Structure 1
Amino acid sequence: MMTGTKYLACLWTVVITQAGFVCGDIQFLERHEGESVVLPCVVEKRSTPPFGVYLKRSWLRPGEVLFHYTKSKFQVNNSSDKNRTSVDGDPSLHSVNVTISQLRVRDTDRYYCEFLVENPSSEDEKIQGTTEFFLFVNPDAPGSVDMELVETCAGGSAVLPCLPSHGEGLAPVEGVSVKRQRGMAPVEVLYDWKRHSSSNPSSSSQFHLSSTPSPGGIVFKLTVQQLQPEDSGLYSCQLFHSGSPDVSTSLGRHVVFVSVQGDRCGCSSYPTLLYTLSSAVVLLLLLLLAAFVAIYKCKATRKVKSRPQAPIYEEMVGVAPHSRKLGPSHLEEAESSEYRNCPMKKSCPDNYYESPSGALRLKR
Structure 2
Amino acid sequence: MSVVHHLWILLVIHSVLVCGGIQFLEQHEGDSVVLPCTINPRGRSPVGFALKRMWQDPRQVLFKYTNSDAHVNSDADKPRLMVAGDPSNNSLTVTLSELRANDTDHYTCEFVVPNRSSEDEHVVDTEFFLLVNAVTLGRIDVCAGGSAVIPCLPPHDEDLPVEGVSLMRRRGRAPIELLYHTKRHIDDGSTSTSRFQLWSAPGPSGFTYNLTLRHLQSEDSGVYSCQLLLRRQADTSASLDMTKAVFVSVEGGPCGCSNYATLLYALSSAVVVLLVLLTLIFIYHKRAQRLAASRPLVPIYEEMTGVKNLGAKQDDDELSVYKNGGVKKSCPLNHYETPIRSAF
TM-score, with length taken from structure 1: 0.41
Structure with max Cα Rg: 2
TM-score, with length taken from structure 2: 0.42
